[in-house]
Amino acid sequence: MNSDSQSFGRELAAGYCDALLGAPAHGQGRLDVVADTVPAMTASGRYRWLAGLLGTLFLLVGVQGVKADEGMWLFNDLPVKQLEERYGFTPDQVWADKLMRACVRFNSGGSASFVSSNGLVLTNHHVGAETLHKLSTPERNVYDDGFLAKTWDQELPAPDLELNQLISIEDVTARVNDGITADLAPAAALAKRRENIAAIEQASLDETGLRSDVVTLFGGGKYHLYRYKKYTDVRLVFSPEAAIAFFGGDADNFEYPRYCLDACIFRVYEDGKPAHTPDFLKWSDNGPADGELVFVAGNPGRTSRIFTNEALKYQRDHRMPYVLDFLRRREVMLQQFGLAGPEQARRAQDDLFGVQNSRKAYMGMLGGLQDPAVMADKAKRQAALMAAIQADPQLQPAIAAFQTIADIQQQRAATLRTSLSMNSQVFGLVHSIVQMVTEDKKPSGSRLPAYRDSARESLERRLFSDAPLYPDLEQAVLADLLARLCETRGGDDPLCQQVLAGLSPIERARVVISGTKMFDPAARRQLAADGAEAAAESSDPLVQLAWQLDPELRVQTETTEAWAEQERQAYALIADALFATQGDSTYPDATFTLRLAFGTVKGYDEDGQWVPPMTTMADTFAHQERHAGEEAFQLPQSWIDNRHKIDPATPFNFVATPDIIGGNSGSPVVNQDLELVGLIFDGNIQSLVADFMYTDKQGRCTSVHSSAIRQALRWFYDAEELAESLGR
């Protein structure tokens, strides 16, 4: 694991151990599932894709040169030259700072922006989905039926949501590398670097009171300290019905043309009152024109554009097929669970959407890698780089680096299918506590990154959250995980036998879940308070299960971290070679930190047909009629009843060329005047290969048009006041 990613990763895991579960449902919020050999079992939890499942390398994009509208640029190193040359636009520091502070990160895995001076936050319905589900009950289904607070006191507090506003970026590379010499062994270097990072983060937190994360960029070439203002009192103001937020369902997901109001609005509070948020985005009256230059500011989760051929082949031939098997398994399991009745379906819904979204995204990515032409192109670029390296005596170390990376892929492939994976919410919480009480015996800097003091507040918010956990669903999940353990290890495996304790997986899961008290946040708090010795002697069957699995899970974590450190050093050498041969005016791979992308509103050619960049309100009703009788294409009653009010030509969704990826969901799309013209919610299927390469041939990001959001509030939701307050 990359330590910087862990330092935010630990924050993200509202659903811990659920890289798979409770995902940002669809669109760009695609997420990862199971780690390489440590399958989502550290406290970095559900959004560990952010942390680097592909090997944790956040490095510069270099095997190809940067071109066209490519790039996820750092806010302290904007692509000024490219913008001037391509578009004659020169952003200054005031422009950049204003936009930076108007942006909001959802630590549950997405992006957002301030859209009023009194704390209104705009994001996607699917980014808010986890909270919408947590706010739902059998009687009040906020997710399905939508919600509107007419007054401040009707706004619904989210149980455990943390939003971050980026305040400053500081280069701390020298401090992170302090004491690390070339002759230091990888393990020692990792430990020292971890210690330095912990100290920097703690000092910054003590000094500023701000959340302070050290982020690894360029594979260790640079380390930046990101300071965030945290908002933890977040309340729901508005969400539309799921039927229009996710209109077209799984069928339309990642497709275009689209017709989705994938938006919802929260408000941040301080001291019990709406927060004062002077750095907000104004609202564009007309939205963007076809061909207009636009910017996307958000938190792309992870890209892997530096990957070597061997690393890509590991993805193509091993990890992605493995993850897809896991996703399909969970998808079928959740569907089966939901068949028991409407309430069970509701409980499984958030997870199911997340899994289906991920499955479709992975299919798209794998499809790209399985195209021989794509891999041939990559191989050609790598061969050219290798030739340049071989021609320059100074760059020789990079040759061994390629081999190191290849070797590590082989080791990963050899252990992948027998690795331990326990993607269960309640197990994850309990296992985190068990690890935490053990790690707490060490000084903060020596602990696994998730358990450092600087991360404690956010960790505890998650571990002791009173967000709903459903024992019936958790039991079905655990039964499936135990069955999977038996399948991957074989039923005679000693760990498998120990865990089953003589029972079948189904029966064992029943005993554990019906016997545990850990669904109660107070019991989890008590477990943590009692400390390691008491936890080791707990008679709670779920705590016992966590102890049984912990030794092996720790070994997996350590092995993965060791590989990651070796790769970090190897990619740093390759990065040096790239800088040397191709210059350094580029951007690092994505790290779920704030980035700027740019491009234009633009249609594309598909199967010989031109796909225009914008859809309209009128198209939306036509789309429903084309799919009459299909559940996913049934518009909500509010739209049907108020159809007469609409201006049919109002734009609804649009596509553009900026370079985005999962994590960008909810990002504002702004024009040169920093007016909000759109809201990112998806990328088309042709864009999914963006993990590995940018393409604007057909690849596009998909947004809700600003006019559609404001007008929908008026026409369908009787929310004139809220519509008026946007951008003010």
For residue 175, give the DSSP letter.
Answer: H
Please, what sign has the CA dihedral across residues 365, 371, 372, 376? negative
Q: Minimum CB separation from a second copy for residue 503, in Å?
A: 7
Q: Minimum CB separation from a second copy for residue 71, in Å?
A: 26
Which whole-number Å values give the CA distances from 426 to 51, 453, 465, 468, 495, in the listed order? 21, 23, 11, 10, 20
* Residue 468, preceding peptide bond in cis (omega within 30° of 0): no
Angle between helices 521-536 and 541-582 (to 10 degrees): 90
Residue closer to a second copy (CB basis): 340 or 400: 340
Residue closer to a second copy (CB basis): 333 or 572: 333
In 488-608, which ranges are E strands?
Answer: 595-600, 604-606
Q: Tokens 């107070």 appear where?
A: 522
Residue closer to a second copy (CB basis): 292 or 310: 310
Q: Minimum CB separation from a second copy for residue 498, in Å?
A: 11
Q: CB-hemisphere CA count at 13 Å for 341?
A: 5
Contact 216, 223 (CB under 8 A): yes
What element of type H or E holds 565? helix 541-582
Residue closer to a second copy (CB basis): 480 or 567: 480
Residue closer to a second copy (CB basis): 47 or 326: 326
Q: Minimum CB separation from a second copy for residue 514, in Å?
A: 12
Q: Minimum CB separation from a second copy for residue 359, in Å?
A: 7
Q: Three-class SS of residue 248?
A: coil
Token representation of residue 325: 């098997």
Residue closer to a second copy (CB basis): 483 or 614: 483
Residue closer to a second copy (CB basis): 260 or 293: 260
Neighbours of 547 (CB within 10 A): 17
Distance, in Å, from the CA atom of 232 to the CA atom of 550, rounded to the nearest integer, reads 31
Report DSSP letters for 54-70, one per residue.
TTS---B--SS---TT-
Residue closer to a second copy (CB basis): 601 or 693: 693
Q: Minimum CB separation from a second copy for residue 686, in Å?
A: 12
Q: Minimum CB separation from a second copy for residue 31, in Å?
A: 17
Report DSSP letters for 413-449, one per residue.
HHHGGG------HHHHHHHHHHHHHHHTTS-GGGS-G
Q: What radius of gyration, in Å, describes the C-alpha atoms of the chain?
A: 24
Q: Please name the amino acid found at residue 314.
A: Y
Q: Minimum CB separation from a second copy for residue 136, in Å?
A: 17
Report DSSP letters for 660-726, one per residue.
--TT-TT-EEE-TT-EEEEEEEEE-GGGGGGGT----SS--EEEEEHHHHHHHHHHHH--HHHHHHT
Residue closer to a second copy (CB basis): 88 or 372: 372
Q: Minimum CB separation from a second copy for residue 328, in Å?
A: 4
Contact 666, 112 (CB under 8 A): yes
Q: CB-hemisphere CA count at 13 Å for 265?
A: 25
Residue closer to a second copy (CB basis): 332 or 534: 332
Contact 33, 327 (CB under 8 A): yes
Distance, in Å, from the CA atom of 385 to the CA atom of 379, rounded to the nearest integer, reads 10
Q: Minimum CB separation from a second copy for residue 688, in Å?
A: 13
Q: Please name the amino acid found at residue 162.
A: E
Q: Minimum CB separation from a second copy for residue 137, in Å?
A: 18
Q: Minimum CB separation from a second copy for residue 609, in Å?
A: 16
Residues that bind a second copy (CB under 8 A): 249-251, 313, 316-317, 320-321, 324-325, 328-329, 331-332, 336, 339-342, 359-360, 366-375, 483, 486-488, 490-492, 497, 500, 502-507, 627, 629-630, 632
Residue 257 φ/ψ, nearest 5 degrees: -65, 155
**Quick one: 464 exposed, middle or buried, by C-beta within 10 A (0-12, 13-18, 19+)?**
middle
Residue closer to a second copy (CB basis): 272 or 629: 629
Residue closer to a second copy (CB basis): 166 or 499: 499
Distance, in Å, from the CA atom of 136 to the CA atom of 130, rounded to the nearest integer, reads 10
Residue closer to a second copy (CB basis): 331 or 565: 331
Residue closer to a second copy (CB basis): 217 or 690: 690
Q: Minimum CB separation from a second copy for residue 357, in Å?
A: 13
Q: Minimum CB separation from a second copy for residue 342, in Å?
A: 6
